[in-house]
Amino acid sequence: MYPTKSKEEPWKEVKLGRLFKKSDLLPFSENSNFITKSTYVAHLGEAKDLFPKFEYGVESLKNLVFLNDGGPWIWKWVESSFPNSVQILDYYHAKEHLCEFAKNYFKEEEQRKKWVEWQCGTLLERTPEEAVEEIRSLPHQDKT
């Protein structure tokens, strides 16, 4: 999102999506790829006006995967429009949520930093399911 503002109008966001096919990925390193060809879909205004533009770009594609920031409006739209697709929370926002959780769970800052670093490594080098399982295995804390 790119916030904009003019004297005449309140803040608006440019909503942006990037479309590419698996065949447009070239291996870059062990854990990353380089996208050789893609199409951007952008809209300045309300999300409901972006959807038709985006849907036009994916209507002929199969096995859809959506990587997004986890915004509820995006999640709900993908679930209703593409129910057989996969949704993935992007790494930056996953880390943001991990940090917020850690801030509330771990009182000692050094322990919190080490835990977040470990979890980010789990996300990048293993699987998100393992990161979730590690969170679930933490002892329950009574906040009374």
CB 68 within 8 A of CB 85: no
Indicate if 72 and 105 belong to the same structural domain.
no
Indicate if 18 and 57 belong to the same structural domain.
yes
Residue 143 lies in a domain: no
Which domain covers residue 97, as residue numbers? Answer: 91-136
**Token pair listed for 96:** 């943001």
Residue 29's DSSP bridge partners are: 32
Long-range contacts, 102-106 (Cβ 8 Å, 24+)? 105/138, 105/141
Indicate if 23 and 51 belong to the same structural domain.
yes
The overall average pLDDT reported for the chain is 87
pLDDT for 109: 95
CA distances from 87 to 24, 41, 64, 102, 137 (A): 19, 18, 9, 24, 24
Residues constituting the chain: 144
Q: How many domains, the chain?
A: 2
Phi, psi for residue 134 in degrees, rounded to 5: -65, -40
pLDDT tens string 54-95:
888 888 888 899 999 988 999 999 999 999 999 999 999 999
pLDDT tens string 93-113:
999 999 999 999 999 999 999
How far apart, in whole angstroms, are the C-alpha atoms of residue 139 and residue 71? 29
pLDDT for 5: 67
Q: What count of other Cβ atoms lies within 10 Å of the Cβ of residue 119?
A: 21
Indicate if 14 and 81 belong to the same structural domain.
yes
pLDDT for 144: 53
Residue 144 lies in a domain: no
Residue 42 lies in a domain: yes
Q: What does pTM read for this prediction?
A: 0.74
> For the chain, what percent of residues have pLDDT higher than 90?
53
